[in-house]
Structure 1
């Protein structure tokens, strides 16, 4: 079986491409390399000892999509391509709606024209908004996301729900991620943000390796045990394995629009993550407290029991493993893939 992975040269996409190759799938990656490196896929091929097909292109380009979908007989698409920085989405909302919403609509139009109707979509826990008590489960109504990134993900979820209801040929998985961290245990592939990192752990790792002087902690006055934000951190390889389980479910079950949380069910504060990283690396992380960042919420963690029951999937790697693997990647690749 051949799987199209959009955004497959990026952080989560590259780890999932590796998991797909190791599981015996043929993989075609489409990526515009705006926030990714071709080197990640060369390393994926070396780790898997198998080759994949790479096409440089954009999901907003219908011509590229039509050619690609006609050249290959795809069984399904795993869709990662899109923009993902919360803070950036607040300052550049139009780019997020164009890439994340319009891009997905164009992809689905091209898939439908080519007769490919199985799609795994990279969604986000931000679609729940900030009005629910923790933990978050799939039975909760979606809320009012606090930033354009989250709103773009919710818009796409609603588009996909409408699409599946309109045409029973579609089988769609909407995977609501919590906070992906870590790296492959080899230290060969990992998170390599372009410019200043928007997420906590890559910033911590860059401080530890000397690329940044100090970590900014945004907010110390939240209603949490230590005042800093609490998140559900999930190892990227657990996340990649969750995509394989979702893909297998789509390939082997009745067509529908499914929704699953991919998280651990455990929340950790910013200060707890810093402490865990210091213990894993032996490096002290200097940090300063700054005011809250627009669009952030105080707490967010998952109830992952539905995925465990329906996908037969559960996150296995603990916080220490996440920190150790992140540090191994950053030590061996202090400038990322460059």
Structure 2
């Protein structure tokens, strides 16, 4: 998730506040699951690279699987697709093979944990923009095999305001916007919000998470700045779903090419991610509020239309 110079000793204890929040939310687990209708797509985006987006996506998926949700990660970062590196696996096939009719979706799925799979995007992400209407229908039919098998699709997008990033964010039911406490990351985080506002034709469902925070106070301060700017200049209400503390266990896990939630499940970062996962699940719009409906087919239809737009 990158490097940070400071390593506050108080960091470990700060996670206890979020752990307490998690205990408060556990009692509502059944209620949350019972109202969870259809596949939910969540795009994870950031204004700049190096803020830990892919690492967060992978560990969020594992945290959601611990909650009982069947989760898939779509590695949709065209430039630096590296979810496979973090997981220590080498994909043989990717989404492009499904698009070209060479493989079925089940053949490219890579299990990475209980109820968690990786969908390697590869060249297939860019190919989505070149499909005609008949090819779109064929692909949607192919991928519909996941419907009923996956509850949450986490889309690990690229960084910045590239057309593909914005397309995935606007096609998804929810967008999780990631920043760190660094000034450049905060500035670029706002830039993503501004770009989404300019190209969106409907209501945005965006939540904010602060990564690599030195303390809960520091994370709250950053979130407050982003929320105030979004409200004042963009007229956006951005829910804050939590933070992930700076934790040596994250870097240790990266070196081992394992998710830190698996490598050190009781670490401060792991506890933080579990709270973010719970809050993110609870914060999503109801199915009837999602433009065009919820589910894999709706997500793919919106995505293909977005990718085909010029400019």
Which bracket does the TM-score occupy, shorter chain normalised?
Answer: 0.3 to 0.5
TM (norm. structure 1) is 0.32
Q: Which has the higher contact order (CA 8 A, sep 6+)?
A: 2
TM (norm. structure 2) is 0.34
Q: Which is richer in helix?
A: 2
